[in-house]
Structure 1
């Protein structure tokens, strides 16, 4: 069910002190104002300067001025968010941004200053993430979209606005006479997310007015299914071993075998196989009936090889 901004903020109960990721846009500006008013003296802000566009300076100035007016301490993190060959610019910027948030928070957490980080993604962002996952043929982990809460690097991470439509946040700011900075790259339809926002969301609004609620419900169902698959994969990996024994893998049905292989590669080696790579690996496992059968396949960022009775992954 979609919520008003005030209702979402009332339901938000982080461990304090809290850091808010502040881009300067409407969403994070609203989140910082709301949190600073609710927990005076317990809120910090972190701004990541990507340096990828001329407007970045205006974002930083907005954040500096806003935080000075609110009396909120601000950390500005400058990052190199240029993308590597084969990597999307959005992914590169996102990875750099999350690393910068963690570094900034941990720098203060060494003094016991930050317990939680709040990010301002909202209901429309969640729909866009789900549609992007569908467009890429994602499994249930991808269809779960963005979690509202997780823990990493000794910090609690929150997205308290996932049930709040983006328009609601802008209306809340306008009612208070609060300005924000518009990112000009949000209008660039070379980026898939921007095309979804400009073309698909208005069509969904017209055809299915409750789409934010129903899409969010589907994402929650996918998140529950993904959690169950993770639990099963951990159990199966404990049985087949790490590195996994080929004979143990052969005893599993194809779906469970694929599930445990993905889990092994992701957890032990931080790599993800494509569907084609996983199919090829499973075909080789099924065909592995003799001591001399050789397995050497490109999987994720490296290779899977047979080593005696087990599979090994390595990155040359």
Structure 2
């Protein structure tokens, strides 16, 4: 039985050096075996030791054994991925994982990392985005390529189904580990994986393909909105001028402000915060009218004719 990742990688122009995020689980095992066979001597495995459970040391030992047999260098990053009060444990662990993977790759002169996320992971991501009332960015799902922390991340397996990957593991007898946290139904993604996806498969057998098509459509629409926001921002200036902002329809104001806050300040306003800001902009018709609103983890203030965003707001504003 052919490794299902092999034909995908054969059609993919990989860089001279490639890092593979390797947890030791089934999906990353399939990817690492295919990459090591496709590009011998050019692949490095990157393993993140989360420090969240006693089994983490065993995961690392397993990964070391696999890499020794494949002749692939293994680089391990140890982190403490515990989440802060009020923070999603999944989100905290994901952010820590990307930072660590990027650091491991950069230390080895590697600029590209392959991730083993597949079609089922994409569906789970879309359902989580829907449950949170996400906009087009969230409904676009996971991109095939993105840059974080100065490293390019790739998802070459997004068109493959989880069962195809697991079938190869079983048929080939390739050893892998099963993280016990993957069956913990306290986590939203696990509830979707174990309870929702089987129901979807029974009701809508082609749901993976149709969800992927919706994600692609959302990504295209999101790209057009980004282009429009960038064009509007050249008109209003950055930081945006209030008078120029008010010349735009309310939805274009919102689109521009989201784009400006995200790209210039890595700040993502809530829907309520953005609506309040738009109301204040509409009401701000006199020189003495102040704007001082909490947005994301900072504040938007009026400074004369323009809006500015600060992590820590000044004590007063013009």
TM over 0.5, shorter chain: yes
Aligned length: 310
What secondary structure does 1:195 align onto? helix
Q: Distance in 2 between matches of 1:150 and 1:302?
A: 26
1:115-130 matches, within 5 Å, as 115-130=111-126
Distance 2:41 2:166 in 1: 25
Match of 1:87 in 2: 87
Of the structure 1 ranges 64-73 and 236-245, higher mean CA displacement relative to structure 2 is found in: 236-245
Distance 2:39 2:211 in 1: 32
TM-score, with length taken from structure 2: 0.95
Q: Which runs of 5+ in 2 are unaligned?
A: 313-318
- Map of 2:34 onto structure 1: 34
Which of structures 1 and 2 has the larger relative contact order (alpha carbons within 8 angstroms, sep 6+)? 1
Deviation at 1:61, TM superposition (A): 1.1
Match of 1:290, SS? Answer: coil
CA distance in structure 2 between the partners assigned to 1:290 and 1:115 by the alignment: 51
Asked if 2 retains the 8 angstrom alpha-carbon contact of 1:23 and 1:63, the reply is yes
Q: Secondary structure at the match of 2:48?
A: strand
Q: Look up the SS of the partner of 1:186 in the other structure.
A: helix
- Tell me, in whole angstroms, the C-alpha distance in 2 between the residues paired with 1:132 and 1:123: 14
Q: Deviations over 1:129-150 (max 9, x none)?
A: 0000000000000000100112
- Name 1:206's counterpart in structure 2: 202
Q: Distance in 2 between matches of 1:155 and 1:185?
A: 28
Summarize deviations over 1:258-307 as a string: whole Å, max 9, x none: 01100111111111000000000000001111111111111111111111
CA distance in 1, matches of 2:11, 2:166: 20
In structure 1, list runs of 5 or more residues that go unmatched.
Answer: none
Q: Give the TM-score normalised by structure 1.
A: 0.95
1:156-179 superposed Cα distances (whole Å, 9 cap, x missing partner): 321011111111111112222101
Q: What is the distance in 2 between the residues matched to 1:315 and 1:168?
A: 47
Q: 2:254 aligns with which of 232, 253, 258?
A: 258
* Alignment partner, residue 245 of structure 1: 241
| Residue in 1 that maps onto 2:57 | 57
- What is the rounded CA distance, in whole Å, between the counterparts of 1:230 and 1:98 in structure 2? 24
Q: Does the CA-based 8 Å contact 1:46-1:101 persist in structure 2? A: yes
| Aligned residue in 2 for 1:13 | 13
Instruction: Say yes or no: does 1:171 pair with 2:167.
Output: yes
Give the one of 265, 269, 277 matched to 1:269: 265
Q: 1:304 maps to what in 2?
A: 300
What is the root-mean-square deviation in Å for CA atoms of aligned residues? 1.3
Point out 4+ residue stretches in structure 1 off by more than 4 angstroms: none
Q: Is 1:185 aligned to residue 181 of structure 2?
A: yes
Aligned match of 1:48: 48
Given that 1:8 and 1:163 are in contact with CA atoms closer than 8 Å, whether structure 2 keeps it comes out as no
